[in-house]
Amino acid sequence: MQNKKKSLFRSYNLHKASLLLITIINLCSCKYYTKNWCLPEVGTLLWVTETLTDTAIKLAVTKTLETSTIIIAQVSWSPNDRNFFDNAEWYHSLATDHGKSFMLNVDWLENDRSTTRGGWSFQNEQIRQTFYTDIHKLVEKYHPDYLTLGIEVNYYALTNADGYREFVKCFNQIKASLKKQNPKLKIGLSFQLQLLYGIHSDWAQNRSLPALDAVVENLDYIGVSLYQDVQISKIPSLLYSLNYLDSLATNYRKPIGITETGISSKTFNDKQRADYINAIYQKFTDLDLKFLIWGSIIDNPKNENWQNEIGLLYSNGTEKPEFKIWQTRNLKIIR
């Protein structure tokens, strides 16, 4: 009987030790896979210009750091502009100094998405080679956790189909090369959601899903941008376009993240903006999206168009009414 008790005691302790080991492995795995979306990423683009006061810039930076898991450098790229390399440095320092993940987004389209920055095409072999070399230099210098090699690229697919086909080939080559150096690096592209599904107020409501289909199998993540200000007006519901996030998640078995979103105080009232934030965070949770990045933490003082007024802070640094909702939602995720 005594031997039996000892045997049971040893088995019990062995079981406890096994459970402890499994727990440790799981915890380590979660830490290891944090960059693989064991935990979601939330944040905001941080656009600061010389038109903002020092006080407003400090407030924007502080509130970004307090409410984000990730810092994003969204840099413009052109073969004739070398500033893109230095433009990423400040954002990378913020991420490193404050223990945040780092996302590097490369935007080679004009702001109005009508063409590339400078009118060049990926059909040009020299352009492709320059892009290939520059991206490798950026990654070698800044070691991002996430790399978005094109912003809202479905616009380019509509304006230059041949150029887009060559870009996809270039993307595949760059991704294969970078993955050999760092298999953990997550590499994707961003697509404008309303443009994908033909509910964009411009562009003749053309659907552009073929642009996604052409490259989706080689994406580590599908980045999505969506702005309620470009949703066609004949749709009765402000939140209608969010339903297409469900369609995207159902039809494409890939990790999906919102790379930028927003709703302007130029077009929408306080209640509408608050409703939108609550709704998009609900989608974020329901669909297990991998990141949710707001389009700008602060307004641009110029106030020339709706894009300048999608911030969560007014240009003087004062909080908009919806800021508290956004802050609370993010802090619940972070903690």
Confidence at residue 311, expressed as pLDDT on a 0 to 100 scale: 97
| Helix (H) or strand (E) segment spanning residue 234 | none
Structure pTM? Answer: 0.88
pLDDT band of residue 36 (cuts 50, 70, 90) is low
Of the candidates 95, 24, 101, 43, which has an alpha carbon nearest to the alpha carbon of residue 333?
43
Statement: residue 14 has pLDDT above 90 = no
Statement: residue 27 has pLDDT above 80 = no
Query: Residue 61 CB: number of other CB atoms within 10 A?
Result: 17
pLDDT band of residue 39 (cuts 50, 70, 90) is confident
Arithmetic mean of pLDDT over the chain: 89
Query: Residue 167 CB: number of other CB atoms within 10 A?
Result: 28
pLDDT tens digits, 71-80: 999 999 999 9
User: Who has greater pLDDT, 101 or 26?
Assistant: 101
pLDDT band of residue 33 (cuts 50, 70, 90) is very low
Confidence at residue 210, expressed as pLDDT on a 0 to 100 scale: 96
What is the layout of strands, in order, in the sheet containing 146-148?
41-44, 291-294, 256-262, 221-227, 186-192, 146-148, 101-107, 70-76
Statement: residue 22 has pLDDT above 60 = no
pLDDT tens digits, 82-103: 888 899 999 999 999 999 999 9
| Spatial contact of 313 and 266, defined as CB atoms under 8 Å apart | no
pLDDT tens digits, 289-306: 999 999 999 999 998 899
| Helix (H) or strand (E) segment spanning residue 25 | helix 2-32
Portion of the chain with pLDDT greater than 90, in percent = 78
pLDDT tens digits, 114-172: 999 999 999 999 999 999 999 999 999 999 999 999 999 999 999 999 999 999 999 99
Helix (H, G, I), strand (E, B) or coil at 69: coil
Of the candidates 84, 57, 68, 121, which has an alpha carbon nearest to the alpha carbon of residue 334?
68
CA atoms of 231 and 184, how far apart (whole Å): 36
CA atoms of 35 and 38, how far apart (whole Å): 7
User: Who has greater pLDDT, 113 or 16?
Assistant: 113
Contact partners, residue 183, CB within 8 Å, separation at least 6 = none
Confidence at residue 29, expressed as pLDDT on a 0 to 100 scale: 38
Statement: residue 31 has pLDDT above 50 = no
Confidence at residue 38, expressed as pLDDT on a 0 to 100 scale: 62
- The CA–CA distances, whole Å, from 243 to 43, 226, 279, 280, 332 equal 22, 12, 10, 10, 24
| Both tokens assigned to 184 | 């953990």
Portion of the chain with pLDDT greater than 70, in percent = 88
Confidence at residue 56, expressed as pLDDT on a 0 to 100 scale: 97
Confidence at residue 12, expressed as pLDDT on a 0 to 100 scale: 39
| Both tokens assigned to 259 | 């790379």
